[in-house]
Amino acid sequence: MKVDFTRWLPAIAKDSYRKTALSVVGVAALGGLALAPTAAAAPVTSGPHQGAVAAIELATGKAATAARQQDQPVESGLTTGSATGKPPAGKPSREELIPHGIEGAQSRIPLDDAQLANARAIVDAAKKTGVGDRGAVIGIATSLQESKLYNLGHLGAYNDHDSQGLFQQRPSSGWGTPEQITDPEYAATAFFDALKNIGGWQDLPLTTAAQTVQVSAFPYAYAQWEEQAADIVQQLW
């Protein structure tokens, strides 16, 4: 079947609060499936639609540099700690951000201005909800997996059920209205409020904490973003 990639190009829309929403018609589920905060099981879903994944990479400029970056470390768009290994003054330490160590191979992507703005919204929500810097790492890693830190609107025929926003939360599962879950501040606050309902979440591995909130069909996918999420939080905290 001939694939028309032009219909998948993104339309950027900003509301009166200048919250950026990326709507890509034809992009499949990028990560897991965020059910209601009290959900206990996730349905089995298929993996990402390969044509849709290619489309979002092209639309966001990722494909142009993919070949050059394949054998090179991918920068997050932020700097890491100093050459001495110590965090910048007033920033959380590596041990605080990753208290249980990295699980498995790590992934990295470059971040554009929209992604960095969404990351800042998540960090701000982590501070306001009291989950701290470790909670912020869990939130950033979850959004990296779910939406690559893009505030995705409804994705048309290839949408993962009715999942939308930074955390791919579902209105039909009680996360809020489409307008609410595509507001980065609201979406991040809802995620952290659900995280706080998990007893002892601070002592859980990142992927376990994230999966308990998201109830994803891909429960181990969150772990791959822990290192980049920690770098982002350390710089934005």
Decide: 126 and 119 in contact? Cβ < 8 Å: no
Instruction: For residue 131, give both structure tokens.
Output: 């989950």
Q: How far apart are CA 91 and CA 234, in angstroms?
A: 6
Report pLDDT for 157. 72
Give me the residue label for tokens 């059920």.
161
- How many residues in the chain? 237
Report pLDDT for 35. 52
Per-residue pLDDT of the chain in tens (237 residues, 90 and over written 9): 433 323 333 333 334 333 445 544 333 334 444 555 543 333 223 334 444 454 445 444 444 444 434 433 334 456 554 444 577 778 999 999 999 999 999 999 999 999 999 999 999 999 999 999 999 999 999 999 999 999 999 887 767 788 999 999 999 999 999 999 999 999 999 999 999 999 999 999 999 999 999 998 888 999 999 999 999 999 999
Domain coordinates of the chain in residue numbers? 5-66+76-236
Q: How far apart are CA 118 and CA 85, in angstroms?
A: 27
